[in-house]
Amino acid sequence: MSISKRGIFDAAQSIEGILQIDSKRLEAALSLDARTARIEVQILLQTLLNVNRAYVLTYSERVLSDDELSRYTGLRDRRLQGEPIAYILGEREFYGLNFRVTSATLIPRPDTELLVELALQQISQRGLCRVLDMGTGSGAIALSIAHVRPNADVVAVDASKAALLVASENILRLNLSNVRLLQSDWFAALAGEHFDLIVSNPPYIEMDDVHLKLGDVRFEPLSALASGADGLDDIRRILRDAKNHLKAGGWLMFEHGYDQALRVRQLMQQAGFTNVTSARDLSGIERVTRGHA
């Protein structure tokens, strides 16, 4: 540790000193394992100093200035209060792209990359394909699809104006010209529009699920998460109109909860979809259910 002219106090202001002390604080406050806590402190320091991980490891004796320390303390205290690291940093990586996120948007989850993979399998690399993403949030799904398939014409809707502002920032960041955003209560603003593929990661958590009050989730918008007593209200609402907005032979794909696959398959079949199947995520959980119009 560094002992500068300001004496032993600087040890606690060095990168390594902060890593040691604050990892323990985060571990205790958020019940994180030691490794995760240390990585989070590292990330906060990287963000504050605008450096990469190699810098933090190489210059572990560097002492933060008083101004840097005070700004770092602000970030750390937000994390100690439980605010998700993605909101503190203002971004989250999804499908290899960096998305701006705010408290108006869900933080994109790695699980949702399965929905993007399955969607991309349905979109050939040539020819126009009209894709609709319902409940786009930060735009994670719609923009990932649009980025990989420049030939796709993607429409992304959300009821939240604040979320759409974030999605529009992400369109600029990623320099995409094939995505159109629309504020809409599901299909309300889409009269007369037809798509080859509709994808959605809608709210699907049961209203009284205890997880809504735990961890990162309690900082995310409830309107992005909860959907009635059984978590399926929004899926039912989307299914009411989905066939009217799909071209013949088009596909509809939902992400849903770990225990909802059977129920979602039944709802899709009742709504007249055929070839209804569920796909498993990397943990072996049925995570996406899709069907043919």
Ligand X SMILES: C[S@@+](CC[C@H](N)C(=O)[O-])C[C@H]1O[C@@H](n2cnc3c(N)ncnc32)[C@H](O)[C@@H]1O
CB of 214 to ligand X, least distance (A): 17
CB of 123 to ligand X, least distance (A): 17
CB of 236 to ligand X, least distance (A): 12
Site for ligand X in 81-110 (CB under 6 A): 106, 108
CB of 62 to ligand X, least distance (A): 36
Choose between 72 and 204: whose C-beta lies nearer to ligand X: 204
Of 2-10, 13-21, 131-139, 168-176: span binding ligand X (CB under 6 A): 131-139
The yes or no reply on residue 186 touching ligand X (CB under 6 A) is yes
Residue of 136, 170, 178, 278 interacting with ligand X (CB under 6 A): 136
For the window 216-245, what string marks contact with ligand X as x by the rule CB under 6 A? -------xx---------x-----------
CB of 94 to ligand X, least distance (A): 7
Choose between 27 and 233: whose C-beta lies nearer to ligand X: 233
HEC profile of the chain: CCCECCECHHHHHEHHHHHHHHHHHHHHHHCCCHHHHHHHHHHHHHHHHCCCHHHHHHCCCCECCHHHHHHHHHHHHHHHCCCCHHHHHCEEEECCEEEECCCCCCCCCHHHHHHHHHHHHHCCCCCCEEEEEECCCCCHHHHHHHHHCCCEEEEEEECCHHHHHHHHHHHHHHCCCCEEEEECCCCCCCCCCCEEEEEECCCCECCCCHHHHCHHHHHCCHHHCECCCCCCHHHHHHHHHHHHHEEEEEEEEEECCCCCHHHHHHHHHHCCCEEEEEEECCCCCEEEEEEEC
Tell me, by CB under 6 A, how many residues bind ligand X: 23
Which positions lie near ligand X, rule CB under 6 A?
Answer: 106, 108, 112, 135-138, 140-141, 157-160, 163, 184-186, 201-203, 223-224, 234
